[in-house]
Chains A and B, each alone.
Chain A
Amino acid sequence: MKKSLPILILLILLAVLPHIGVSSYIMHILVLVIIYSMIGMAWNLLGGFCGQVSFGHAAYFGVGAYTAGILYSKLGLSAWWGLPLSIIVVTALSLLIGSICLRLRGPYFALGTLAMGEVLRVTAENLVKFTGGDVGILLRERTWVGKTWYYYIILLLAIGTYLLVKKVIESKLGYYFVAIREDQDAAESMGIDTTLYKTIALCLSGAITGMAGAFYTNYMGYIDPKVVFNLHDISIVTIMVVMVGGVATYWGPTIGAIIMVFLAEIIRSNPGLGAAHQTLFGILLIFIIIFLPNGIVGDFPKLRRLLRLGGTPT
């Protein structure tokens, strides 16, 4: 009861937020934060808990986004059908990518997924008949003009993701994921089918990321390969969101998403710094790896100690 009270307050706060006169710009930032926190949680399932570091989550995001986009542009259906359908499409994609990349371990897996993300971007750029190529896909009318309903939908999706991740990690699957992360050979000799469970982690992670992509199409009303398959803005920022917030923690991706999105906005809106935002992200990442390797949530006690020592030297 005591533990659920702050969460209840947080939920009520999030629910009334659109009705207290928050500007459309802030609402947009919030939606972005929630999208990144959702992809971050998905990445964390695979990278944080199962130890398979992916540099190619843009692949799932992009294919999810294009599932929604193509349903609209080619079949004339509502792009919202992309949300359920992206689960199927992206799971199939995850199985394909997994069958290739999960044979690799450690940094080789990371490089394999990086390549996959780029391959899909190039494919989307060149399959002009299907994807519209660099022209992209434009939804002629968006479902709502205001941001409120989009905000509620992505909030629900993110809460669903949070609950799913928590449920998975506290079950047999979670123990197996962490066992695989810690020592794949030991896990195998404990009777864990490492290939199967890595594939499960990848499919779950991919499907959630794909749904976020499908939502993105509906929300933005326009997608093109350079945006939704973007190596930096999707794949790398997702990793940073998790690294900054806390690898293998429940709240890490959310905290990381808040920090990263606001930081990006602040830097970009400053004309003197704007162009250097990737450089600053790089410096931030180095700082985090050296001083807070477990992220803000994971190293919270350490962080508090550091700040207290810095604040009042006794």
Chain B
Amino acid sequence: MSLLEIKDVSKRFGGLSALSNVSYFVDKGEILGLIGPNGAGKTTLFNVVNGFYPPTKGEVFFKKEKISHLKPHQICKLGIGRTFQVVRPLRRMTALDNVIASSFLHTKDKVKAEEIALEALRFTGLYEDRNVLSKGLPLGKRKKLEITRALATQPELLLLDESFAGLNPSEQNELIDIIRQIRAKGITIMVIEHHMKVIMSLSDRVVVLNYGEKIAEGTPKEIGSNPLVIEAYLGEAESA
């Protein structure tokens, strides 16, 4: 059953077409990898799904409900959590308070909100750092904090925007484990990633964007041997 449906979505910024006619499904329980060269429109797509940008054309459905006219906080309340590519911790709040602010979404009771937050922090392994001001956390932990915060809103679908960028290999492996555990909890995940190793080992399916268009979709294996994908990436390498 499809949890999220992106239907014919286009997004223009003035004359620039960031997304054109992108359509695909995210099925319940899967990890979907979203890849593509820099500037392909991956984050723009997240911003459309998450409600920061209304699509210029097309619609987004979540659990059969049209969400493409809603605001980000309404979409979050329906069950879509997200992280940001450039981490956005609430700097002058402790890690715990960051997560509590987000766990208040489904409860008014502070004790309960704190329970949810502490559980989420234990889950992602930030429990020991809970009383550190988030601006003092190293990047790897801030990335985890983003995920923890999104988890505390108790989402059904989690959008992870380059959570692996800037992490060292051991942190990456740790995060792969965490993401697998999140999926084991029954949360569907859509992940933007540049690290091929991560995408190939995590994703059930992969969607490839290039210049705002979907150029391929399939299992990691299929994607790895798709000539269009190879061209898109090699083209990027040549121009770099």
A positions within 8 Å CB-CB of B: 170-172, 175-176, 178-179, 182-183, 185-194
Q: How far is the CB of A113 from chain B (nearest CB, A)?
A: 23
In the bound complex, residues from chain A placing their C-beta under 8 Å from that of B72 are 185, 188-189
- Is B34 located at the chain interface by the 8 A CB criterion? no
Assuming the contacts A190-B105, A191-B73, A192-B73, asked whether A182 and B91 have C-beta atoms less than 8 A apart, the reply is yes
B76 and A172: CB pair below 8 A? no
In the bound complex, residues from chain A placing their C-beta under 8 Å from that of B76 are 188-191
- Is B180 located at the chain interface by the 8 A CB criterion? no
Query: Which residues B208-226 have CB closer than 8 A to chain A?
Result: none
B positions within 8 Å CB-CB of A: 50, 52, 71-74, 76-77, 81-82, 84, 88-93, 97, 100-102, 104-105, 108, 110, 113, 149-150, 153
Q: Closest residue of chain B to A194, judged by CB?
A: B73
Does more than half of chain B's interface fall in helix, strand or loop, or is it mixed? helix
In the bound complex, residues from chain B placing their C-beta under 8 Å from that of A188 are 52, 71-73, 76
Assuming the contacts A172-B110, A175-B97, asked whether A191 and B91 have C-beta atoms less than 8 A apart, the reply is no
| A171, B149: Cα distance in complex, Å | 18
| A179, B149: Cα distance in complex, Å | 12
A170 and B84: CB pair below 8 A? no
Q: How far is the CB of A194 from chain B (nearest CB, A)?
A: 7
Q: Pick the contact of B110 from A170, A178, A193 — CB < 8 Å?
A: A170
Q: How far is the CB of B111 from chain A (nearest CB, A)?
A: 12
Q: Top 9 A-B pairs ranked by shortest CB distance?
A: A182-B90, A191-B76, A191-B105, A186-B88, A190-B102, A175-B101, A179-B101, A188-B72, A172-B104
In the bound complex, residues from chain A placing their C-beta under 8 Å from that of B77 are 191
User: Contacts A182-B89, A192-B73 given; 13 further ones with Cβ under 8 A?
Assistant: A171-B110, A172-B104, A175-B101, A178-B92, A179-B90, A179-B93, A179-B101, A183-B90, A183-B91, A185-B52, A186-B89, A188-B72, A189-B50
Assuming the contacts A172-B110, A172-B113, A190-B153, asked whether A182 and B93 have C-beta atoms less than 8 A apart, the reply is yes
In the bound complex, residues from chain B placing their C-beta under 8 Å from that of A172 are 104, 108, 110, 113
A175 and B100: CB pair below 8 A? yes
| A187, B88: Cα distance in complex, Å | 10
Q: Closest residue of chain B to A197, judged by CB?
A: B73
B110 and A176: CB pair below 8 A? no
A176 and B101: CB pair below 8 A? yes
Q: Pick the contact of B149 from A175, A176, A185, A190 — CB < 8 Å?
A: A190
| A183, B83: Cα distance in complex, Å | 13
In the bound complex, residues from chain B placing their C-beta under 8 Å from that of A193 are 71, 73-74
| A170, B149: Cα distance in complex, Å | 19
In the bound complex, residues from chain B placing their C-beta under 8 Å from that of A175 are 97, 100-101, 104, 113
In the bound complex, residues from chain A placing their C-beta under 8 Å from that of B90 are 178-179, 182-183, 186-187
Task: List 28 A-B residue pairs with CB atoms under 8 Å apart, sorted by A's residue number.
Answer: A170-B110, A172-B104, A175-B100, A175-B101, A178-B93, A179-B101, A182-B89, A182-B91, A182-B92, A183-B90, A183-B91, A185-B88, A186-B84, A186-B88, A186-B90, A187-B90, A188-B52, A188-B73, A188-B76, A189-B52, A189-B72, A190-B101, A190-B105, A191-B73, A191-B76, A191-B77, A191-B102, A191-B105
In the bound complex, residues from chain B placing their C-beta under 8 Å from that of A171 are 110
In the bound complex, residues from chain A placing their C-beta under 8 Å from that of B108 are 172
Q: Closest residue of chain A to B102, judged by CB?
A: A190
B104 and A176: CB pair below 8 A? yes
| A178, B72: Cα distance in complex, Å | 18
Assuming the contacts A172-B110, A190-B76, asked whether A183 and B104 have C-beta atoms less than 8 A apart, the reply is no
Q: Closest residue of chain B to A195, judged by CB?
A: B71
In the bound complex, residues from chain A placing their C-beta under 8 Å from that of B84 are 186, 189
Q: How far is the CB of B30 from chain A (nearest CB, A)?
A: 22
Q: How far is the CB of B129 from chain A (nearest CB, A)?
A: 18
| A189, B105: Cα distance in complex, Å | 11
| A256, B52: Cα distance in complex, Å | 40
| A160, B34: Cα distance in complex, Å | 53
| A189, B71: Cα distance in complex, Å | 9
Q: How far is the CB of A106 from chain B (nearest CB, A)?
A: 16
B101 and A192: CB pair below 8 A? yes
Q: How far is the CB of B213 from chain A (nearest CB, A)?
A: 26
Q: Pick the contact of A189 from B82, B92, B97, B100 — CB < 8 Å?
A: B82
